[in-house]
Amino acid sequence: MSAPSLSPARTHTRVDNTPLGITMMLGSVFLFSMMNVLIKIGTERYPVPEVTFFRNAFALIPVALAITLQRGWGAGLRTERPWGHVWRSVIGLSSMSLTFWSFHLMPLADAVALNFSAPLFLTALSVPFLGEKVGLHRWSAVLVGFIGVLIIVRPSGEMLLHLGAFVGLGAAFTQSFAMIAIRQLSATEPPNTIVFYFTLITTILTAFALPFVWVTPANLTDFAILVGTGLLGGGAQLFMTRAYSLAPAAVIAPFNYASLLWAVIFGWLLWSDVPSSHMALGASVVAASGLYILHRETRKRRPLTPPSAGPGGDD
């Protein structure tokens, strides 16, 4: 039985702030891009479940630090939606595992380009799951973006037979559900609480697989790479979750396109991967569709929504 005095501490009210949300997303993209490089290196040497475990386990360090410095552990761990956190963790872990697998199967830039389709899935799913209003302009942008995805995967070409293409699209689809789960939870749950339970639950889930796949790191460099995935991923997760708690999902998601630039640079410098013309064209079409969605949102120049306002936009 809870004491009445604890009620105010349990309450978290989201206040939308789109400019700050965009800034947080850009910071998240940079950290995730650095993490992706370490993930690709790690999955070339170690099983995906093991790399995923390190990514989640060591992410607990920045997450725990953030909770300690901000709300404290009492408020940071308090939640009234435990099953919401479980669902967010399961779908988020599915997306993470598929994404890491696609990094192993494909050039980094190609895998990231396919991940661009996540905002397109998200725009469609935000109607039934988030109650956000999606108008003709945004639906048209989604259609154009889908054409861009087809250009990338080349349904009549060799990519149709490439396992990486299906894995990459599966990662994007599940990621859109993870974004929705974050947006739903953020209505009542603080960002750090969402990240903490996601990191803790996914660490526990991936730990169950370790006895079957464990490969001992060969040296300190490999161990540092695996640990680095967690530290970078934890920091990026904090930024991303904060971004989705500050602005509508369909506005924040397109800024993930900045990750392609980093993927191309890192892929060229580290693996001599040169983006193909069809990948560049398809990624440009998908990015353009997402940026058009962003243009439609920001052109309205909404004021900061008051605490009582609900999620969603009108387009």
Residue 133 pLDDT exceeds 80: no
Q: What is the pLDDT of residues 79-112, one digit of tens each?
A: 888 999 999 999 999 999 999 999 998 888 888 8
Which range (30-34, 50-54, 294-298) has the least confidence?
Answer: 294-298
Q: What is the mean pLDDT of the chain?
A: 81
Token duo for residue 271: 């693996």
In the chain, the percentage of residues whose pLDDT exceeds 70 is 83
* Spatial separation of the C-alpha atoms in residues 44 and 46, rounded to whole Å: 6
Residue 10 pLDDT exceeds 80: no
* Spatial separation of the C-alpha atoms in residues 286 and 175, rounded to whole Å: 16
Residue 18 pLDDT exceeds 90: no
Which range (10-24, 46-60, 107-121) has the least confidence?
Answer: 10-24
58 near 288, Cβ under 8 Å?
no
Tell me, what's the pLDDT at 88? 94
Q: What is the pLDDT of residues 172-220, one digit of tens each?
A: 999 999 989 988 898 888 888 888 999 999 999 999 999 999 999 999 9
How many degrees, rounded to 5, is the angle at CA 148 between CA 248 and CA 52?
A: 65
